[in-house]
């Protein structure tokens, strides 16, 4: 079970979403992807997309205006 990190600080929508999509494709089931974002609309669309795909998602507010979307690849 590997853990991957994606630094998307300073990147506006929809780039974090497209990057997360591509990264997740390369990963194995059970792996964890942590997407670091500071664009508030990505905190909505990245978790929404990942949940729709059936993955486990958690959103952490790590600092003022900074979030980590933790995605566990389920399939």
Partner 1 sequence: MNIRKNAFYKAWFKDAWPYVTGAILLSIFQIVTLATTGNPWGVSGVLAYWGAWIFELFGGSVDKWYYFASDGAQNTLNNGILQHGGSIRNIGIIIGALFSSLAACQFKIKKIKAIRQVVAAILGGLLMGYGARIGFGCNIGALYSGIASLSVSGWVYAVFLFLGAYVGSKLLVKFFM
Q: Which residues are catalytic?
A: 13
Question: From the CB of 49, what's the least distance to partner 1, in Å?
Answer: 15
Nearer to partner 1, 14 or 72 (CB): 14
Shortest Cβ 44–partner 1 spacing (Å) = 7
Which is nearer to partner 1, 21 or 72 (by Cβ)? 21
Q: Which two tokens stand for residue 61?
A: 């507010």
In angstroms, the CA 3 to CA 48 distance is 21
Question: Can you tell me which residue has the tokens 């992807």?
Answer: 33
Residues contributing to the site for partner 1 (CB under 8 A): 9-11, 14-15, 18-19, 22, 38-40, 44, 63-66
């Amino acid at each position: 079970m590997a853990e991957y990190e994606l630094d998307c600080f300073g990147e506006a929508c929809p780039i974090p979403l497209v990057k997360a999509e591509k990264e997740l494709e390369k990963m194995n089931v059970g792996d964890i992807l942590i997407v670091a974002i500071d664009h508030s609309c990505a905190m909505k669309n990245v978790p929404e997309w990942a949940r729709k795909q059936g993955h486990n998602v958690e959103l952490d507010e790590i600092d003022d205006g900074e979030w980590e979307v933790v995605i566990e690849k389920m399939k």
